[in-house]
Amino acid sequence: MYPLIFHQPASLDEAVALLRDADDAKIVSGGQSLIPALKQRLAAPSDLVDVTRIDDLRGMAVADRSFSVGAATIYADIATSPMARAHAPSIASLAGVIADPQVRNRGTVGGSLSNNDPSADFPAAALGLGATIETTQRVVPYEQFIDGLFSTTLAADEIVTRIVFPLPLRAAYVKIRHPSSRYAICGAFVSEMKDGWRIAITGAGNEGVFRLTALEAMLDRGGRVPQLDDIEVDTSMMMTDITVDADYRAQLVRVAARRAAVRVLENR
């Protein structure tokens, strides 16, 4: 690792000031992506601003048919929260299958969405539910927040403070994970909202998380379980890596999306 200055601000105002004053500061919360990057010298910021001691960035709430989560809330807290399990079971279930207990007890929702890893789980929930991102500067729909692989529209001195997930009528997440890293080789989040269906796919797209509009349209037309075998997937949109190629990933998208849709349709 390169030399750097480590800060632990107690307020959002202090954190924003540190980001503005430093030459090249990075925010660290759970650190599940940034710390390995520092160790491998893939990142060399001048300063690290740890936001985990800021009380305003933690906690969960349910109001107005929405479930809101502070950006520094860890996955394990969501997975085990009675409130989350009662009001947002699909989100609690997703949080419970992220990586392993060590990661779930350090990784944070805001960190995941800000990093925008194409194989992360929470982007599927954010896109699949039409989440809203609240920051120190604005409120923005998640679809306008993401900007390609490992990229978002966050400014250098902007911090994600809270994520607001609209509550679905019913929803489910199915993940096909790498046996070693436990990242999603493919994950499908299927939700029935008041205004129609939303299906988000993570871990498979060559530009990151995306909506599976063909399946959305099928379900909007009243599609049932026997029709789900006809899910259309554009192979040209699929990622190829050392794990699987694009053709196989397209098949995994069909499998994961079908399983998630069946769970929703059958209320399992």
Tell how far CA 225 is from the center of its chain. 27
| Domain span(s) for CATH 3.30.465.10 in the chain | 1-41+58-167
Query: Does 3.30.390.50 match the CATH number of domain 170-268?
Result: yes
- Asked if 178 and 155 touch (Cβ cutoff 8 Å), the reply is no
Burial of 103 (0-12, 13-18, 19+ CB in 10 A): middle
As annotated, the residues of the chain forming the CATH 3.30.390.50 domain(s) are 170-268
List all residues 6 or more positions away from 248 whose beta carbon is below 8 Å from its beta carbon.
none
Using alpha carbons, list the distances in angstroms from residue 114 to 27, 87, 153, 162, 234: 10, 25, 9, 11, 27
Longest dimension (CA), the chain: 59
Q: What is the pLDDT along the chain (268 residues), one digit of tens a residue?
A: 678 999 999 999 999 999 999 999 999 999 989 999 999 988 999 999 999 999 999 999 999 899 999 999 999 999 999 999 999 999 999 999 999 999 999 999 999 999 999 999 999 999 999 999 999 999 999 999 999 999 999 999 999 999 999 999 999 999 999 988 889 999 999 999 999 999 999 999 999 999 999 999 999 999 888 788 888 899 999 999 988 999 999 999 999 999 999 999 987 5
Q: Shortest CA distance to 18 belongs to which of 57, 58, 55, 47?
A: 47
Query: Which pTM was predicted?
Result: 0.96
Residue 95 has a pLDDT of: 98
Q: Tell me, what's the pLDDT at 180?
A: 85
Q: Report the SS3 class of residue 215.
A: helix
Q: How many angstroms separate the first and last alpha carbons of the chain?
A: 47
Predicted local distance difference test score (pLDDT) of residue 268? 57
The per-residue pLDDT for 228 is 84
CATH class of 1-41+58-167: alpha beta
Side chain identity at residue 237, one-letter code: M
Q: Which residue(s) pair with 173 in the sheet?
A: 189
Angle at 143 between CA 137 and CA 149, to 5 degrees: 95
